[in-house]
Amino acid sequence: MLRGIVSLVEQDLFEWTNSRLTLSQNLEVLSISPLRQEASAREYFRVNTKENSFVGVFCPPETESIEQFIFLAEFLKDNGVTVPEVISSDTKLGFMLVEDFGDKLYQLHINRQNYHHLYSAAIDEMIRIHLCPPHPKLTSLSRNEMYMQMDIFRDWFLKDLLDIEITSERNEVIENVFGTILDDLITQPQVLCHFDFESRNLMMLENGSTGVLDFQDAVFGPIFLDPVSLLKDLYFKMSEKEMCELLDIYTSKAYEFGLMGNFKTSGIKKSFDFTALQRQLRIMGTLSRLHLRDKKPFRLPDLTTTLDFAINISARYDELRNFSVFLKKIIFPELKKTLKEIL
């Protein structure tokens, strides 16, 4: 057994990658080490040889198939998107050997000096994703699916994490907000969305381009889903003016390539904000479930920033103002108290 391996997954992946690389490229694996922790059940490892490195991926076959990742890696690359190549895979074992894009994650390297350049480069990749054509293996988000994505906010965040009583009055406020958001989302142009296009999933490559990771959940949906993921990032704070400048860059390109159709420019900011609120509600529910069900509390600190985003956006619109007050006066103090007890 290789020194330093601490789990059966690492041992099995080491043996599998070594076998595959020896046969295909006459390379011997020298070491394998865990990479970042994920919200999903997937596990990532850096696989080192004498010549270069790769990324080994394990997806538990009983919970997650790698077939969609493999399909999308090829589909997106064929459509000009910079994604890592899948070098080898075993769908029964849930193993993949993937091209290594390095260590320069946007999340860790973005700063006040380079954010405009990096986000502009990321927008170019986003546009390439949005230009992808339909395919039988790609699905579209329905109104009900987008509702269910928000409903985990009520169930997992409000009820289960914070133990908030959902009175009939509060439930009416929540339902009205869900309906208002969905009425906007279904009127937006529909494009292929990465669905989690944030700095944690973007890489600075040596050739100056932007590499895109974690694309297995790509789906056709409202056009502002990806711009919201990028520009309402939990890990880098921008002013409203700076964010709007980058949103203008995206929408200008989207109109240029015919992605916006007849969508009126006057509705851009409101649709962007409503889409941001939908994402933030989904994230709060997802991170709560991640802690309570999956015993992974490492993303809990992100809840404060996410809730703050939701409060500020809701306060801008008359139809959402009651919800903003509810979040600010009732939910924010409870979240602060709960996080203090857990962390």
How high is the pLDDT of residue 64? Answer: 87
Q: Which helix (H) or strand (E) holds 340?
A: helix 332-342
Angstrom distance (rounded) from CA 31 to CA 49? 7
Angstrom distance (rounded) from CA 322 to CA 277? 14
How high is the pLDDT of residue 6? Answer: 62
Q: At 141, is the pLDDT very low, low, confident or very high (cuts 50, 70, 90)? A: very high
Angle subtended at Cα 207 by Cα 203 and Cα 213, rounded to the nearest 5 degrees: 25
* Whether residue 1 has pLDDT greater than 80: no
* Whether residue 307 has pLDDT greater than 70: yes
Angstrom distance (rounded) from CA 216 to CA 66? 8
* Whether residue 325 has pLDDT greater than 70: yes
The proportion of the chain whose per-residue pLDDT surpasses 90, expressed as a percent, equals 94
Per-residue pLDDT averaged across 146-166, rounded?
A: 98
How high is the pLDDT of residue 98? Answer: 98
Contact between 278 and 149 under an 8 Å Cβ cutoff? The reply is: yes
Q: At 3, is the pLDDT very low, low, confident or very high (cuts 50, 70, 90)? A: very low
SS (H, E, C) 145-162: HHHHHHHHHHHHHHHHHC
Q: How far is CA 101 from CA 61, 68, 104, 195, 204, in A?
A: 25, 20, 8, 20, 8
Angstrom distance (rounded) from CA 16 to CA 233? 36
How high is the pLDDT of residue 4? Answer: 55
* Whether residue 5 has pLDDT greater than 60: no
How high is the pLDDT of residue 308? Answer: 97
* Whether residue 338 has pLDDT greater than 60: yes
How high is the pLDDT of residue 156? Answer: 98
Angstrom distance (rounded) from CA 35 to CA 342? 25
Q: Which helix (H) or strand (E) holds 219?
A: strand 219-222
Q: At 38, is the pLDDT very low, low, confident or very high (cuts 50, 70, 90)? A: confident
Per-residue pLDDT averaged across 101-109, rounded?
A: 97
User: Which pTM value belongs to this model?
Assistant: 0.95
* Whether residue 27 has pLDDT greater than 50: yes
Per-residue pLDDT averaged across 178-207, rounded?
A: 97
Q: pLDDT tens for residues 272-302?
A: 999 999 999 999 999 999 999 999 999 999 9
The residue assigned the tokens 């997802």 is 286
Contact between 138 and 220 under an 8 Å Cβ cutoff? The reply is: yes
Question: Domains of the chain, with CATH numbers?
Answer: 8-99 (3.30.200.20), 106-342 (3.90.1200.10)
Mean residue pLDDT of the chain comes to 95
* Whether residue 85 has pLDDT greater than 60: yes
Q: pLDDT tens for residues 221-262?
A: 999 999 999 999 999 999 999 999 999 999 999 999 999 999
